[in-house]
C-alpha cells in the first residue's frame, strides 16, 4: 500500500514539474490591453516575471519605473499589471508591443540585459494572488540587476506618484508620507479650518482604497471620510465600487441613502458619486463639468472626453470651456490629449477615470495653486478627485442635488456582445466611434441612429474583455434601449455572434 502511495505521489510530482516546465517554455499569448495585461491570475505567472524585466529595461538602467499588480475593477479571480513609465504616467504605447513579445516568448528566447543602476517600484492591490505575482515581478527585475523598491499594498495612483517623485529627485517615496502630506496640505489650503464638517462615505469596493481613506481620517478641514466596503467586508468589486455603480446604475452594497456617498474601484483610480432614495449617479462626465465650470472662472480650460461621454455633458461643456476634444477610450489617450490643451486640461471618462492637468504647472494662477498640488498629475486618482470635488462643492456652497442639476443626462444604454473574433471590428483611430470595417455594419448602425429621435450609437471592440461594446443614447429611455438592442443584433448578424449578449 505504501509503495502505491509513493508511486502515485511521484507520478503527480512529475506531472506538475512537466506542466510547469511547459508553461515556462510556451507562456500564454497575452495581449497588452487598454491598461496593461489582464487575465485570469493563473495565466500570469510567466508574464509577471517578464514584466519585471521589461520595466527595468524601460528605465534604461538609470531611471525609476513601476509595476502595479492589479486587475482594477475586474473580479477577484482576475489579476494583471499596469506598467508605470519614467514620467509617472502609463507605459508609452511604443513599448506595448515589446511588453507583449517578452511576455509571450519561450524562456529560451529571452535575453536579459544588465540594468544595474535602475529602480523598479513594485506595488500590489489586495487580491490574494497579488503578493505571489508581485514576487514574480521582483524576480524578473532581479534578473536584470536593477533594484526593487517594494511599496507593498498601495493604490495605483500612489504607485504612479512614487515613480514620479523618485525621478524628480526624492530619496525615497515608499512610505507615501509625501503623497498624503501633499493631499492634506493642498485641500486644507482651499478649505479653511472651522468649515462645517461634512461626512463622506467612500465605497471602497472591498479594495485597497480603504487604506488611503483611513489614513486621511481626521486630517481634512470640514471633511470626515468614512471607508465603507473595506477589505474583507465584501468580495472585491462585487455588487459595489465605481464600475458596478456606474454601469449597473444600482446602489452599492451597504449603501445608505441618508448619507453622502462616493464609490471608487478596486485599485482606487476611478470615482463616481451617488445619492438619494431614487438613486442618482454623478459620473465622470459630471465631475468634469463641475471642475471645468469652477476652474474656467480663473483660467483657460480645455476638456477631453471619450465617445462614451453623455451627449448632454458634451453640450454643457461646449459652452463653458475654451476647447473640447474627443479621444479614444483609455487613460493613456485622454491623458495625452489633455496634457496638450489650454492652461488646464481636464479629462474624465464617464466610468470615473480622470484628473485635472495643470499644463503650465510652474505658474498656475495664485488661486489655483492648491488645486494644482491636489490633482494627481500622473493619472486619475479617485481619492485626490474626491477631495477636488468636495473642495469645489464647498466653495460653491452646493449640495449633491445642486451639482446634479447643472444638466440632465440623456437616457443611454450600454450592452455587450460576444463574437467569435472581435478583431473583425476596426474602429476609426481618432475617437473609436465609427467602424472602418465592416462598412456594412457601420451603415446599418447609421440607419438605426437616423430613425431614433436624438439618437447616437456606436460599437467598438473592448480592450479589456473578449466582447464588443455597444453604446446608445436617445431622447427617451425606451428609445435608447431599443437602439442599443438593434445595434447588438446588427453586430451579431454581421460578425456571427451567437448568444453572449448581455447588459453592460
Site for ligand 16G, rule CB under 6 A? 34-35, 72, 329-331, 349, 351, 353, 462-465, 469
Minimal distance in Å, beta carbon 480 to ligand 16G? 18
CB of 250 to ligand 16G, least distance (A): 20
Q: How many helices (H) and strands (E) does the chain have?
A: 16, 20
Shortest distance, position 90 Cβ to Mg ion, whole Å: 12
267 binds, among Mg ion, ligand 16G, none (CB under 5 to 8 A by kind): Mg ion
In sequence order, the 6+-apart residues with CB closer than 8 A to the CB of 91 are 36, 58, 82, 83, 84, 85, 99
Q: DSSP assignment of 431-445, as one string?
A: TS-SEEESHHHHHHH
Cβ proximity to ligand 16G: between 220 and 242 the closer is: 242
Q: Which is nearer to Mg ion, 274 or 480 (CB)?
A: 274
Expressed in angstroms, the distance from the first to the final Cα of the chain is 56
Could you say which of ligand 16G, Mg ion, none residue 345 binds, taking C-beta under 5 to 8 angstroms by partner kind?
A: none
Closest separation between CB of residue 201 and ligand 16G, Å?
A: 24
Question: Would you say 250 and 280 are in contact if contact means Cβ atoms under 8 Å apart?
Answer: no
* Among the listed residues 440, 500, 496, the one whose alpha carbon sits nearest the alpha carbon of residue 469: 500
> In terms of DSSP H, where are the helices of 256-381?
284-295, 311-318, 331-338, 369-374
Rounded least distance, CB 72 to ligand 16G, Å: 6
For Mg ion, the closer of residues 36 and 302 by Cβ is: 36
Residue 330 or 455: the one with the smaller Cβ distance to ligand 16G is: 330
Nearer to ligand 16G, 296 or 354 (CB): 354
The entry of ligand 16G, Mg ion, none near residue 330 (CB within 5 to 8 angstroms by kind) is: ligand 16G
Which residues are designated catalytic?
72
User: Which positions ≥6 away from 38 have C-beta within 8 Å?
Assistant: 71, 72, 74, 78, 79, 80, 464
Beginning with the edge strand found earlier in the chain, give each strand of the sheet holding 301-305 in spatial order: 323-326, 301-305, 344-348, 354-358
Phi, psi torsion values for 41, nearest 5 degrees: -55, -30
Instruction: Give residues in contact with Mg ion (CB under 5 A).
Output: 72, 265, 267, 269
Q: Which position's Cβ is nearest Mg ion?
A: 72
Going by C-alpha positions, the residue among 347, 481, 462 that lies closest to residue 410 is 481
Query: Which of Mg ion, ligand 16G, none is residue 331 near (CB under 5 to 8 Å by kind)?
Result: ligand 16G
Cβ at position 126, least distance to Mg ion in Å? 13
Q: What is the nearest approach in angstroms of ligand 16G to the Cβ of residue 349? A: 5
Q: Are 308 and 266 a contacting pair, CB within 8 Å?
A: no
Residue 250 C-alpha cell reads as 444600482
Q: Which does 34 bind (CB under 5 to 8 A by kind): Mg ion, ligand 16G, none?
A: ligand 16G
Residue 411 CB neighbour total at 10 angstroms: 18
- Is the distance from CB of 370 to CB of 388 less than 8 angstroms? no
Helix (H, G, I), strand (E, B) or coil at 469: strand
* Residue number with CB closer to ligand 16G (221 or 462): 462
Cα four-point dihedral sign 240, 121, 158, 378: negative
Does residue 447 sit in helix, strand or coil?
helix
Contact 98, 154 (CB under 8 A): no
Residue with cell 493563473: 42
Comparing CB distances to Mg ion, the nearer of 96 and 267 is 267
User: What is the Cα Rg of the chain in Å?
Assistant: 23
The entry of Mg ion, ligand 16G, none that residue 464 binds, CB within 5 to 8 Å by partner kind = ligand 16G
Q: How far is the CB of 157 from ligand 16G (least distance, A)?
A: 10
Amino acid at each position: 500500500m505504501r509503495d502505491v502511495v509513493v508511486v502515485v505521489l511521484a507520478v503527480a510530482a512529475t506531472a506538475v514539474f512537466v506542466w510547469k516546465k511547459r508553461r515556462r517554455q510556451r507562456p500564454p499569448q497575452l495581449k497588452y490591453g487598454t491598461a496593461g495585461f489582464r487575465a485570469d491570475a493563473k495565466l500570469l505567472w510567466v508574464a509577471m516575471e517578464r514584466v519585471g524585466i521589461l520595466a527595468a529595461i524601460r528605465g534604461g538602467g538609470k531611471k525609476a519605473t513601476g509595476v502595479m499588480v492589479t486587475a482594477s475593477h475586474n473580479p477577484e479571480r482576475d489579476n494583471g499589471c499596469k506598467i508605470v513609465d519614467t514620467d509617472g504616467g502609463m507605459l508609452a504605447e511604443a513599448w506595448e508591443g515589446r511588453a507583449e513579445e517578452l511576455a509571450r516568448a519561450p524562456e529560451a528566447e529571452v535575453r536579459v540585459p544588465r540594468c544595474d543602476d535602475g529602480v523598479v517600484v513594485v506595488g500590489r492591490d489586495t487580491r490574494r494572488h497579488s503578493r505571489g505575482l508581485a514576487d514574480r515581478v521582483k524576480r524578473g527585475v532581479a534578473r536584470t540587476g536593477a533594484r526593487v523598491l517594494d511599496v507593498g499594498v498601495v493604490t495605483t495612483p500612489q504607485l504612479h506618484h512614487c515613480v514620479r517623485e523618485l525621478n524628480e529627485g526624492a530619496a525615497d517615496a515608499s512610505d507615501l508620507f509625501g503623497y498624503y502630506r501633499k493631499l492634506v496640505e493642498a485641500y486644507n489650503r482651499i478649505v479653511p479650518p472651522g468649515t462645517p464638517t461634512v461626512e463622506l462615505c467612500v465605497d471602497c469596493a472591498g479594495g485597497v482604497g480603504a487604506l488611503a481613506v483611513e489614513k486621511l481620517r481626521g486630517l481634512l478641514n470640514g471633511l470626515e471620510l468614512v471607508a465603507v466596503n473595506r477589505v474583507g467586508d465584501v468580495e472585491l468589486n462585487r455588487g459595489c465600487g465605481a464600475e458596478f455603480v456606474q454601469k449597473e446604475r444600482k446602489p452599492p452594497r451597504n449603501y445608505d441613502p441618508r448619507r453622502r456617498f462616493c464609490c471608487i474601484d478596486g485599485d482606487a483610480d476611478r470615482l463616481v458619486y451617488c445619492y438619494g432614495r431614487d438613486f442618482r449617479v454623478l459620473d465622470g462626465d459630471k465631475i468634469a463639468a463641475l471642475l471645468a465650470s469652477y476652474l474656467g472662472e480663473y483660467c483657460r480650460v480645455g476638456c477631453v472626453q471619450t465617445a462614451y461621454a453623455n451627449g448632454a455633458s458634451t453640450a454643457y461643456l461646449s459652452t463653458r470651456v475654451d476647447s473640447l476634444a474627443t479621444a479614444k477610450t483609455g487613460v493613456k489617450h485622454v491623458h495625452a490629449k489633455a496634457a496638450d490643451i489650454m492652461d488646464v486640461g481636464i479629462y474624465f471618462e464617464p466610468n470615473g477615470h480622470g484628473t485635472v492637468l495643470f499644463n503650465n504647472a510652474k505658474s498656475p494662477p495664485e488661486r489655483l495653486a492648491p488645486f494644482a498640488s491636489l490633482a494627481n498629475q500622473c493619472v486619475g486618482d479617485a481619492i485626490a478627485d474626491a477631495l477636488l470635488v468636495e473642495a469645489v462643492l464647498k466653495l460653491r456652497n452646493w449640495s449633491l442635488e445642486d451639482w446634479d442639476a447643472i444638466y440632465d443626462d440623456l437616457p443611454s444604454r450600454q450592452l455587450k456582445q460576444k463574437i467569435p473574433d472581435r478583431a473583425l471590428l476596426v474602429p476609426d483611430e481618432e475617437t473609436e466611434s465609427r467602424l472602418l470595417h465592416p462598412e456594412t455594419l457601420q451603415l446599418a448602425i447609421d440607419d438605426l441612429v437616423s430613425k431614433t429621435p436624438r439618437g447616437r450609437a456606436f460599437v467598438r471592440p473592448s480592450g479589456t474583455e473578449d466582447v464588443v461594446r455597444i453604446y446608445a443614447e436617445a431622447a427617451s429611455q425606451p428609445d435608447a434601449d431599443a437602439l442599443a438592442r438593434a445595434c447588438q443584433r446588427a453586430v451579431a448578424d454581421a460578425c456571427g455572434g451567437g448568444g453572449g449578449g448581455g447588459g453592460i
